[in-house]
Structure 1
């Protein structure tokens, strides 16, 4: 009778002084020297996780449901990084529970551990993972009831001209943040668009900025139409371009793309004495200013990359013609 395998384990190659993962007749190098026990243990844990295949059962552990979703589905989605973050939020609470335990009570209990909007996004990912398991692994014995917290009302924090002036002045300490603030206030583009923006997307002759890079596809709920730039912004961009030379990204830190504005944004807002403002406030501000200036809804919506319906419902009250006819009857 063949001897039962002991499973994957660490084995010290004394001749070379390195840890190796021994799995049956296979030997996998860890790259860790004898003294690096912690690194070797982590490599073993990663190896076991990669090799692990959850059993296709009708009442799986949520940990297995999330693992399968992360390995099989997420790599094919645009929002893989965000969903992976949601999964890391879900794991501590849900990992040891089974699909049968997902109900109104447990969802409400989880929602109390997170801000309302964050809990809703996490539970949306949990629901998607459960549906994926049901369709691609095994039919669930009991339909899970994922109850989502109510959607938060739209955040309409926008800056006055005086507040924007203070922010621009404070942001000058960080050149990459200053560029973000200027382009955010002048185009209303989303943070992701601006941080990934390259010089090849800006035509300094025509004064038009392409929000989408070459070959990029547009999500149905996040339109990215071209936007015409004002003369003052074009003049500023020309100076930045001369200074940047061959640097590709418009917003950069020492030539490298900027992934996050969290630290510099917080410091600039503190210096400018601004409360409850986020990078997305730039978009709210641009939309509000366009409405206050009486710009036609269709033109403003195209400029912002926003539907007329959303613009009217969220920002229409700032337009000088808002209910002007009805108010005089």
Structure 2
């Protein structure tokens, strides 16, 4: 829903908004500001959304959903995924979307060389768009969006020697610091690149990856420093030219992919992505006996079940007591 405003008009209240470069204004019956606000929403829906029920295309709803998301990261991502999704679905109305249409899309994207994970994400954005349309009463029923199964997470993780080699292979100081932070915090790359010095407490040894504005849905944690990252941060702090911990020429670094891939090449590491770092840190903690509940907190997981599902198999002795109970051969021999 675009921004709507409430103003004074003819001794009462009115609601207005801009559409196609023109301002639309409607008198409200409400006599107080509190009563005007819910009435304004009803008027907007009556005059715009309700008129779209029979004609709104996927493209129109997609853009309305992106506007509704505002500054959230998903809105930016949908600007990219929408290129393929809208080319295929854009001209259709929601009630015209079928399972066959979804399968045709998946087949076309696969033929174009796109991974199953990419197609899963793209169709997931379409599903979210349809749910938005249902919530906003643009449609009476959300169509079923069939999408391929989410691929199994990659098992690649780095051993201690590989981690040291990767950090050493990063030539640019900001790339080296970013990679070191990723390993030390087990954080996502966005959280590390967003990190500012006011959330780094060198005296207490704490790194706060959380954002106060809650723009992201992905969990972010507050974690302690180890000696290695504390020393690296102290060096970076002494040379800091901006508020951002990972900086280049006094400005925030938005992307480290090229520098990271170059470091991987120099370290002779294959099949390694930025997410491999977070996965490697989690595996290192679990395999060295850190309780899964603590690992969940370190990773910023809101549900420890996610941590168990992903990392329990790396825990030494996990379920070993259960396995011993099921040793029926040993039991029979003892008898």
**What is the TM-score when the length of structure 2 is the normalising length?**
0.74
- Which residues of structure 1 form unaligned runs of 5+? 1-22, 25-52
Distance 1:137 1:76 in 2: 23
> Does the 8 Å contact 1:168/1:178 carry over to 2?
yes
How far does residue 200 in structure 1 lie from its aligned partner after superposition? 0.9
Matches within 5 A, 1:198-237: 198-213=196-211, 215-217=212-214, 222-237=218-233
**2:120 corresponds to:** 120
Counterpart of 1:4 in structure 2 is none
What is the match of residue 88 of structure 1? 83
CA contact (8 A) 1:127 1:146 kept: yes
SS in 2 for 1:209: strand
For 1:158, the equivalent position in structure 2 comes to 157
In structure 2, what is the equivalent of residue 44 of structure 1? none
Task: Check whether the contact 2:73–2:215 (CA below 8 A) recurs between aligned residues.
Answer: no
Corresponding position: 1:176 with 2:174:
yes
Residue 279 of structure 2: which of 274, 277, 284 is its match?
A: 284
Contact 2:85 2:122 in 1 (8 A): yes
Whole-angstrom CA distance in 2 between matches of 1:218 and 1:69: 16
Query: What CA distance in whole angstroms lies between the structure 2 residues aligned with 1:107 and 1:297?
Result: 39
Unaligned runs of 5+ in 2: 1-19, 22-47, 328-335
Please state how far the C-alpha of 1:93 moved relative to its aligned partner.
1.6
Q: How many residues align?
A: 274
Contact residue 199 and residue 250 of structure 1 kept, 8 A: yes
C-alpha contact 1:212 1:224 (8 A) present in aligned 2 = yes
| Secondary structure of 2:70 counterpart | helix
2:300 to 299, 302, 305: 305
TM-score (norm 1): 0.75
In structure 2, distance between residues paired with 1:127 and 1:312: 28
The 8 Å contact of residues 59 and 100 in structure 1, kept in 2 or not, is answered as: no
- Measured on the aligned residues, the alpha-carbon RMSD in Å equals 2.6
Distance in 2 (alpha carbons) for counterparts of 1:137 and 1:155: 39
Report the alpha carbon displacement of residue 65 of structure 1 after superposing the two structures with TM: 2.5
1:98 matched to 2:93? The reply is yes
Question: Hey, what does 2:320 align to over in structure 1?
Answer: 324
- In 1, are the aligned partners of 2:186 and 2:278 still within 8 Å (CA)? yes
Measure how far apart 1:63 and its partner are: 2.2
Distance 1:303 1:70, change over 3 A: closer
User: Are the equivalent residues in 1 in contact too, given 2:188–2:278 (CA < 8 A)?
Assistant: yes
Q: Distance in 1 between matches of 2:176 and 2:264?
A: 12
